[in-house]
Structures are given as structure tokens and as C-alpha cells.
Structure 1
């Protein structure tokens, strides 16, 4: 659909007040677009977008994507869904609705407008993988009735909907499977390892590892991820994904904890707790497809990214201390 008079793209970002969404909005505005940020603020926060107050090309709308949305836009980025276990297990039914109903509503909007739509899927669709590293062809090993299923299966169903809308209605879709991402604007209490470890280390608390600490993850800095998302959106319409976006560098959780202690100069010790149910033992992306079709790969080293993230949390925790004083 071509809008009259204004030649700038108007872009909708659902979940735009979240960690990744707010960084994506910064880039989209920097490219000269108008951006409509939609978020119900369940896990997103106005703090992440407060620097955009007064920006004439930015608009915020408080809305839950499980309900239909009637707006006029040229592109859609669908990122709306709690993404950390602490948050998505808080209300598992609503988490599933956010993925499934949210996908239906945003795909319906894209169909009506004839516009391109991006889906933020997740490496969680691979479950506790028996293939390592994970390629896009791998169908996964997911428990459909476990405590993480609301997120894992919700995102898997959302992918199904995206490809069915593509086949049935020729909607121009782009699907990325996002692996562990970190950086400034992470929620300080989201339960993910990077934020957990940094907050514990800065507070002089023992760092909590679940299981033996030998399980592995890959960690992608948020700026690299956003670049991958934007490059995927710019590919030709025949390229739909799913495409893995993540850093193929693999670390054990213990190695990450040791890095955080070293970078913060903390005296924190390490304590061990039982591994949560269905927690994957390995998680690492094969990004061959992203390299080939988008010439994309991460450029920020883990040490560099962690240093930036530590600085963010130092400032955040100082502000929180002043407010509570």
C-alpha cells in the first residue's frame, strides 16, 4: 500500500520498549524512518525509549498484540513476547497467546496492508538439541508439555503461521531464529545469565550457576543482532528464512561467570544449584546461511560487549540506589 504525500517509511515495531526492540528502533530512526512502537509494558519499559521523547518521527502506543491492531504502516517487525524464563513462565498462558495470537494479528495486518513482516523467532525452537551446532534444517527436540513449553511451542507455532500465511496469502515474511543476545537495556531481573552474573558480581554476591556450569551458550551483542535483522529485511522477497542470528563463539556457563568476575573486579564466589527442568545442555548457531545470503556475522567480541554491558548496569544500579535512598 502506497501512502500519499510522505515518502518516508512508517515502520511498526511490536515489543519496541523491550531490550532488542528499543535498539532496533534506534537504528530505524537513524535510517530516516518513522517508527510506531507498540508495547504493553509487561516486560518492556519506558526507560528503554525515554531518550526518544520529543523525537517527531517516533510514536509510542500502549497495546497488547493479543488484540487486533488497526494502523497504517509500510513494514512490521514483530518482537512482542516475554523472552526470559523468569518472565515467560510468570504467566505461561499469556506467553503462548502473545506468540500465537500476536502472530495471527500481525500477519493479518501485513496481509491487509500488503507489507513485509519480520518475526523474531528463537533458538528455543530447537529445544535441548541433539544436533550441534544447530542448523536451520534441524527440527528440534522440544518438550511440548514442560515449564518452558509456553515459549518454545508458542514460537514454533508462530513460525508455522508465518509460513502458512506465506503459502496461502503470499505475505512477504522474514523469520529469524535469535540466539542468546545481551547488551545495554537488558532487564536487571530477567533471570538470564549475562544480566544475572553482572548484577550479582557488581553487588558482591555469589554468582549462581545451575547444574555443573558445563552447559554451553553463544552470546551475541545486541548491535550485531540488530544489524542482522535489518539485513534480513532487505533481502529479496524469495528469501524468507528461518535464518539463525547469533554468535557462533561457544562458552560454558562457568567460563562466562569467570569472565564477568574478572571484568567487574568482583570478589564474588560461585555457587551451584540444581539445573532447571528442560534447560538445554548446548546452544550454538550455525550461521552459514546468514553469511551466505546477507554477508552477516557478529563483529563485537564477548569481552568488548560485556564491558559495555557492565558499564550500563553500573549506571543503572547506581540510579536505582539513589531512587531508593
Structure 2
């Protein structure tokens, strides 16, 4: 439908498929969940799934830059882009970063919904192919791990 309206009415339209966006004023997600759980009880951290889920995380500043690049460098009436990182990080690694930044060492309890999933429908592995947007000259400045660490600091510094 978006493609039709873009071409029919000459409206520039870009659809983006996004990785997990973190940092800044983001108010939900695994980082917020872990921080809140550890503030409530620094002795125990419940992790949904088996901790081995691997996903790509993109810091909000990289997303904003990607949108700017798409607006200024894509001259098509309609296009679709994946916007994410070139790597991924496990839930266990995210937990370790949160624990390190909070200076806590809790007991980890896994709540596996089956097949290593945190909940029914949870995607265990996610990494978008960003080749297309990279051809416009964009790529993320932060890796998934660096983005997570920066996002954890954002959450801890705003409280």
C-alpha cells in the first residue's frame, strides 16, 4: 500500500526494518528490565529464556543518523531498508554488562519458555542484513556491545 501511494501521488516513502533500538530515553526492553529487577533485588536476576538468544542492538544516535542518511541520500520515490548493527550480543552478555555497571553479582535464574525462548514467539537469533543502507554511506558507529554498555549508563544516569 505504501509503495502504491508513493508512486501514485509522488510522495517519497521509505520503510525501515529496525533492529532493537536502545539508549537515550527508551523506556522498555531487556536493559530496563534487568536494571529494574536488580534495583528491586540485587541478589537475584531472572532471565527470560536460556540467555543464549542473540540479537542485534542499535544505539538511538546511530538510528537518527541512519534516518538522516536515508532522507538525504535516497532519491527513490519508494524504498525499503534494514537498519541495524553488523553484529549481535547474547542476553547473557547484556546481563553481564548490566551487572558490571551496577556493581552487583546476583544469582542468575533462567525462565525458559522452551527451545531457549524467553516467551512464546520470542526470536532467538536476529541480525538484519544492512548491506543496502551501507551503500548509501551509513554504518553504525557503535557495536551492539558498545551500544548496550552506553544504554545501560543512560538508564543508570537518569535515575
Normalising by the residue count of structure 2, what TM-score does the alignment of the two structures yield?
0.83
Match among 76, 80, 83 for residue 238 of structure 1: 76
User: For residues 35-50 of structure 1, what are the structure 2 equivalents within 5 Å?
Assistant: none
- 1:303 is displaced (CA, Å) by 4.7
Q: After TM superposition, which residue ranges in structure 1, 4 or more long, deviate above 6 angstroms?
A: none
Q: Choose between structure 1 and 2: higher strand proportion.
A: 2
Superimposed CA distance per residue, residues 111-143 of structure 1 (whole angstroms, 9 cap, x where no aligned partner): xxxxxxxxxxxxxxxxxxxxxxxxxxxxxxxxx
Normalising by the residue count of structure 1, what TM-score does the alignment of the two structures yield?
0.43
The structure having more radius of gyration, on CA atoms, is 1
- 1:247 is displaced (CA, Å) by 0.9
Match among 299, 309, 312 for residue 141 of structure 2: 299
- 1:288 is displaced (CA, Å) by 0.6
Q: Which residue of 1 aligns with 2:104?
A: 266
User: For residues 104-183 of structure 1, what are the structure 2 equivalents within 5 Å?
Assistant: 161-183=1-23
Superimposed CA distance per residue, residues 167-187 of structure 1 (whole angstroms, 9 cap, x where no aligned partner): 332321122111101002111
Cα distance change on mapping 1:269 and 1:241 into 2, 3 Å: farther
Unaligned runs of at least 5 residues, structure 1: 1-160, 318-325
Match among 207, 228, 237 for residue 45 of structure 2: 207
Cα root mean square deviation, aligned: 2.0
The count of aligned residue pairs is: 153
Instruction: Measure the CA separation in 2 of the matches of 1:252 and 1:312.
Output: 20
Superimposed CA distance per residue, residues 127-162 of structure 1 (whole angstroms, 9 cap, x where no aligned partner): xxxxxxxxxxxxxxxxxxxxxxxxxxxxxxxxxx31
Cα distance change on mapping 1:301 and 1:263 into 2, 3 Å: farther
Cα distance change on mapping 1:237 and 1:303 into 2, 3 Å: closer
Cα distance change on mapping 1:269 and 1:284 into 2, 3 Å: same
- Match of 2:78, SS state, is coil
